[in-house]
Structure 1
Amino acid sequence: MKPRYLSQLLALSAVWGVSFLMIRIADLSFPPVWVGLLRCATGALFLWIVLIAGRHTLPPRKLFVWLFLVALTNNALPFSFFAWGERVVPSSTAAVINGTTPIWALLLSLAVTRKRASLQTVLGVVLGFAGVALVVMSQTGATGSSTFHNQELFGALVIALGALGYAIATVIAKTKLKGLDPIGLATTQLSLAGITLIPAAFAGPHPGHIHLSSVLAILTLGVAGSGIAYLLYYKLLAHASATQVAAVTYLLPLWGLLWGAIAHEPLSIAEFAGAGVVVLGLALIHRPSPLPRVTPQTCVDRA
């Protein structure tokens, strides 16, 4: 990969990696569903401007059902679930749990295609989940309160469901939404996700005292994490192989730990070790194998 594209890959992973910290900051002022709604709204607004200026095309109406399902599983639910879970789980831990997304995508793809996984792939999956378990248990074991321990475990489970949502969206998009204008697809799914979240947001808790930091975090999530990063992702795919771009998957847990450390979140050696095990598992899954296998795709909107 050329140095220019390598720098863009690092920038992309850094933007997606900081999203976990931005979610935690947004949580200070906004309920989880509102974090999802505002992120979708700001991201959609940015992409509508890009779509109109660049004369991109929207997906055909006949694909509405699939578009709605992708909007639900790739945006509405994960955005809200990550915000929900990060009320008790550190952003660094959320970033590592998010590393299970390509693993879930691989398992779902294997189930759909009914193909057998190689021993290397199985080992990668086991290592990936083992690394996440190590991080979660080290974090939840840091407090002596059993009540808070249970809350952290529940928060981790909610975040894992968000990661599973990303994986489901990946499989749907790969099988049902091929060949579409990526800008039109992203604009549509963010818009649909935002519309879907409006009733839930207004029916549930409303924002109280709003901090400037939370507003800036929402803008970062929408414009950078769901807008600029999306454009950068597809620009990279146009100049580098999908396997090379998939390397962003390895970097996200590491960026999550780095941003968490900068934000003074408590980190342990076990968390770094667990993140390393997750990265090793992902590397094994993506490593070329002489046997035919399903290659997981990198999901858009990694947090």
Structure 2
Amino acid sequence: MKPANIVRLLLLGGMWGMSFIFMRIASPAFGPILTAFGRVSFGGLVLIALLLLNNLSLDWRRNARFYLVIGLVNTAVPFSLFSWAALSIPSAYMAIINAMAPLFAALFGAVLLSESLSAVRIFGFVLGVIGVAILVGIGPAHVNFETLSGIAASVIAAICYGYAAIYIRQVAVKAPPLAVAAGSQIAASLFLFPIALIVTWVHPPSWPTTLYLTVRSVGAIVLLGVICTGIAYALYFRLIADEGASRAVTVAFLIPIAATIWASLFLNERITIGTLCGMGLVIIAIGLVLGLVRMPHRQWISKEQKNN
């Protein structure tokens, strides 16, 4: 990987890791739906600006259905679920569970695309589930209904990301990646807008009591959309173009680490043995499923076969 792309990968991991911090700040003030709507709106504006700068077209008539499905499954629903989970579980929990998306993508690939699901991949998936179980059992948060519901919401969000990855491969729309990113954000905004209006009318957000907290909460939503969505998507698709999807997806290793560090620095969230053990197992599981980490036993067999 080129040095410039290594820098992009590190920046992307840091940005997406920070997104969970911003959700933890914004969601208590504005609620999950408004937080998600603000994120996709600001992110969409950045991506539209990048489209115009690159003279690219959305080709909405041709790709409208594709944008709507991706906007719903890959953006509106998981963003809302993670924003809701941010009300009850630490940032590290959300980031570690989010990192399981490649595992669910492998499962959907086996079911929908008849891709091979080897014993190593199955073991990786089981290892990831064990990692989350350890995180829940001996992590910093108390196990109660709120915690378990937040974890369930995060798991469903990761499942959405996994399915979306397979859907994109199934449809294989010939649109520039930047157009797909922008179109899906616009579609997500259109989907969330009426819901945000209804939620705001029925249950108005509880604005922070001081100017500092207000600026902090509003700033979190703006940064969540501009940096963690708009700029991050642009970096991600540049990585895919330069290095390929298999290398770009290794950012999944960095997100839990970055989120845990950011949360410890800015939200005073404790890093416990449960956090580290759960994160380590999930990261190893991702490596096994993606084929980036190989089991020693398989290497030993291959050497024996060569000797024979």
Give TM-score scaled by structure 2 length. 0.88
Paired residue for 1:154?
A: 149
Task: Give distance in 2, aligned partners of 1:273 and 1:226.
Answer: 29
Contact 1:35 1:218 in 2 (8 A): yes
Deviations 1:17-45 (A, max 9, x none): 11011111111321100011111111111
Specify whether residues 245 and 73 from structure 1 end up closer, same or farther in structure 2 by C-alpha distance, changes over 3 A only: same
Aligned match of 1:10: 10
Larger Rg: 2
Quote the RMSD (CA, aligned, Å).
1.8
Alignment deviations for residues 72-98 of structure 1 (CA, whole Å, 9 cap, x no partner):
011111111101011001111110110
Contact 1:59-1:181 within 8 A present in 2 as well: no
Task: Spell out structure 1 runs of 4+ moving beyond 6 A.
Answer: none
Show CA shifts across 1:183-203 (max 9, x none). Answer: 211111111111111111111
Task: Supply the AA of the counterpart residue of 1:123.
Answer: F
Structure 1 residues 59, 163: CA separation in 2 closer, same or farther (over 3 Å shift)?
farther
How far off its partner does 1:239 sit?
2.1
The aligned counterpart of 1:200 is 195
Report the alpha carbon displacement of residue 60 of structure 1 after superposing the two structures with TM: 4.4
Alpha-carbon distance change, 60 to 103 in structure 1, aligned in 2, over 3 angstroms: same
Q: Percent identity?
A: 30
- Which residue in the other structure is 2:227 paired with? 224
- Report which of the two has the higher share of helix: 2
Q: Across the two proteins, how many residue pairs are aligned to each other?
A: 285
Query: 2:287 touches 2:293 (CA, 8 Å); kept in 1?
Result: no
In terms of mean alpha carbon deviation, does 70-79 or 52-61 score higher? Answer: 52-61
**TM-score, with structure 1 as normaliser:** 0.89
- 1:173 equivalent to 2:168? Answer yes
**Equivalent residue number for residue 286 of structure 1:** 290
Q: In structure 1, list runs of 5 or more residues that go unmatched.
A: 291-303
The runs of 5 or more residues in structure 2 that have no matched partner are 209-213, 295-308
Instruction: Specify whether residues 283 and 201 from structure 1 end up closer, same or farther in structure 2 by C-alpha distance, changes over 3 A only.
Output: same
**Do 1:66 and 1:177's aligned partners in 2 also have CA atoms closer than 8 Å?**
no
**C-alpha deviations, 1:241-292, integer Å up to 9, x for none?**
33222210111111121112112112311110110010111111112699xx
CA–CA distance in structure 2, aligned partners of residues 284 and 25 of structure 1 = 34
Change in Cα spacing, 1:289 to 1:36, as seen in structure 2 (3 Å) is: closer
- Structure 2 vs 1, CA of residues 102 and 281 (structure 1 numbering), >3 Å: closer, same or farther? same
The SS at the match of 1:88 is: coil
Q: How does 1:110-189 map to 2 (within 5 A)?
A: 110-139=110-139, 142-143=141-142, 149-189=144-184
- 8 Å Cα contact 2:137/2:274 also seen in 1: no
Q: Which residue is 2:304 aligned to?
A: none
